[in-house]
Amino acid sequence: MDSLDAFDTLHTSSTADSSNNSDVMNPIQLVTATNDKYAKHLGVMLTSLLKNIDKKSEIQIYIIDGGISEKNQSNLKQVVKKNICS
């Protein structure tokens, strides 16, 4: 199984100052697994997550690919790009 490289590490913001440990937030690490049939549902979950997460947060998203078509991989990448830029 392959993972989608565009989702290996996704930073919504990197504003935390690492010199002051009280301001550094641990990144949220999310691991998901899907196949082509559930890729649309993963897209909905990612949209909700990225629209509702604190923009100061750092999130690392890993997707275990159980057979996601190239079209759906592209769709998922677009979902992420669209929602981290808004």
Domain that holds residue 14: 5-84
pLDDT above 50 for 9 = no
Q: Is the pTM of this model over 0.85?
A: no
For residue 86, what pLDDT is reported?
66
For residue 18, what pLDDT is reported?
43
Question: Span 18-38, mean pLDDT?
Answer: 80
For residue 25, what pLDDT is reported?
75
For residue 12, what pLDDT is reported?
41
Please count the structural domains in the chain: 1
Longest dimension (CA), the chain: 45
Higher pLDDT, 7 or 50: 50
pLDDT above 70 for 3 = no
Q: From 47, 44, 35, select the one nearest 73 (Cα to Cα).
A: 35
Share of the chain above pLDDT 90, in %: 60
